[in-house]
Amino acid sequence: MHAGNTHDAATGGVMPAIHQSSTYAYPALREQPEHIYTRISNPTRDAFERAVAELDGGARTFAFASGMAASSAVLELLEPGDHIIGPANVYGGSFNMLKAAGEARFEVSHVHQNEGPQAIEAAWRGNTRLVWMETPSNPLMHITDLKAAAAVCTARGALSCVDSTLATPLATRPLALGCDISMHSVTKYIAGHSDVLAGTLTVSSDDLAARLKAVRNRTGGVLASLDSYLALRGLKTMALRVGRQFGNAGRVARALQEHPKVAQVHYPGLEDHPQHDLAKRQMDGFGAVVSLRLRGDSNAPERMLNALELFTIAESLGGVESLAGFPPLMSHSAMTPEAREAAGITGNLVRLSCGIEDAADLIADLHQALERI
C-alpha cells in the first residue's frame, strides 16, 4: 500500500498526477530540468518504479511497455556469442524470445532448473553469461531453488534473472536470495485488473541500474504515464487481491485433486508437489495458477473449457477474474510439439488462473464442467 511513498510532491495528491507530457522545458540552455524527455524519465512512471523497487528490495526498477519488452532488455546486457541457460518449462513468449536469441546472436540451452543447481552446473559453458529462471513456472508450477542457483551464478560469474511474475513481489524476493534481476509481467498480479500491459526489471546494484538505464534509453520500450498510473493503482490493492487469489487456488487445487476425472494437479501448495518443501521455504503462499491433467480422450480439455461458466477462456492470468486456457493452443502455441512434449505441456493439460470470486463458486463451476467431459 505504502511502498515507494507515491504522493504527488507538487500538489500533495495522494495519488501522483498522470504526467502526460513527452518533453520538459529547460529554464535556460545549460540548465537541465529534473525530467528531460519521457523516454528517459517521467514523474508518474518514476512513482510506480519507486513502489516496485521497494517491494522487490532492489537498487532500482525500470518499467517497460510489457513483460516481454522488459525481458528482451535483459538480453541487451549480453555480448554476441554469449551462452544463456533457460528453464525447460517457461512461459511460451519467453521460450520464443530465447529461441530467436539462440538463432540470431547467442547460444541457448534449456534445462530442468527445478531439479536443482546441479542441472544448471551441468549445462555450464565457458561463455555462460546469463541464467534465465522462471519460478513458479508457467503453466506447470515448477519451483527453482533461487538461493542455490544464484550462488552458482555468482561463483561462476554470470547474471541471474528471475521471471517472478507468478510469485509476485509479495511471495518471493529473488534479490534477497542473491539473484541480480527480478522481472515481473506487471500485466498479471501487480496491475491485477486485466486492463494494462506492463513489465518491470528490478536490479540489485547501481552498476546494473546504469547499464539497464542505457539499454532502455536506447531501445525505448518504456511504460507510458497513463499505464504507469493504472499499474500503481493496481499495486496498491495487490496484497488484498493476491491473498484471496492464492487462497482460492489452494482450495481449487485440493478439490480438483480428489476429482475422478483429473489425473494430476500441479500446484506447489499440495503436499505431493515435488518441490513443496522448497516452495514453503522460498515463498509466502503458493501462487494462484493451478494446472491439471485430465483423464479421458484428447477432446476432454476442449469440452471442459467450453462448459465453464464462471471461468472465462482467455490468455493471461493474475487478474481479479478467473481465467482458463489450453496451453498447447494458447500461451505455449508458438513452441514446437517436440519442445512442448519435452517441457511436459501435454495435450490433456488445462491451466487455471484463480481470481477473487468465492472459492465455492469456482469449485462448483469446475465440477459442473468436469461432468461434461
Ligand X SMILES: Cc1ncc(COP(=O)(O)O)c(C=O)c1O
Binding site for ligand X (CB under 6 A): 66-68, 91, 93-94, 134, 138, 163, 165-166, 185, 187, 197, 199, 316
Q: How far is the CB of 185 from ligand X (least distance, A)?
A: 3
Q: How far is the CB of 228 from ligand X (least distance, A)?
A: 14
Question: In the complex with ligand X, which residue's Cβ is closer, 185 or 204?
Answer: 185
Residue 352 sits at the vertex; the CA angle it makes with 364 and 234, to the nearest 5 degrees, is: 105
Q: How far is the CB of 13 from ligand X (least distance, A)?
A: 28
Residue 223 per-residue DSSP state: P
Question: In the complex with ligand X, which residue's Cβ is closer, 215 or 363?
Answer: 215
Q: Which residue of the chain is nearest ligand X when measured via CB?
A: 67
Q: Which residues of 214-241 are buried (b: 16+ CB within 10 A; e: fewer)?
A: ebbeeeebbbbbebbbbbbbbbeebeeb
Note the Cα 5 to chain centre separation in Å.
24
Question: In the complex with ligand X, which residue's Cβ is closer, 269 or 318?
Answer: 318
Within the chain, residue ranges assigned H as helices are 43-56, 67-75, 92-104, 117-122, 146-156, 168-171, 206-219, 225-236, 238-257, 276-282, 300-307, 337-343, 359-371
Q: How far is the CB of 167 from ligand X (least distance, A)?
A: 10
Pairing type for strands 60-64 and 199-203 reads antiparallel
Q: Which residues are catalytic?
A: 39, 91, 163, 188
Question: In the complex with ligand X, which residue's Cβ is closer, 185 or 275?
Answer: 185
Nearest to 262 by CA among 291, 216, 294: 294
Q: How far is the CB of 311 from ligand X (least distance, A)?
A: 17
Question: In the complex with ligand X, which residue's Cβ is closer, 188 or 244?
Answer: 188
Question: In the complex with ligand X, which residue's Cβ is closer, 49 or 370?
Answer: 49
Q: Computed over its alpha carbons, how large is the radius of gyration of the chain?
A: 21
Percent of the chain that is helix, strand, coil (3-state, to 5): 40, 15, 45
Residue 35 sits at the vertex; the CA angle it makes with 34 and 40, to the nearest 5 degrees, is: 135
Q: How far is the CB of 67 from ligand X (least distance, A)?
A: 2
CA distance linking residue 53 with residue 230, whole number of Å? 17
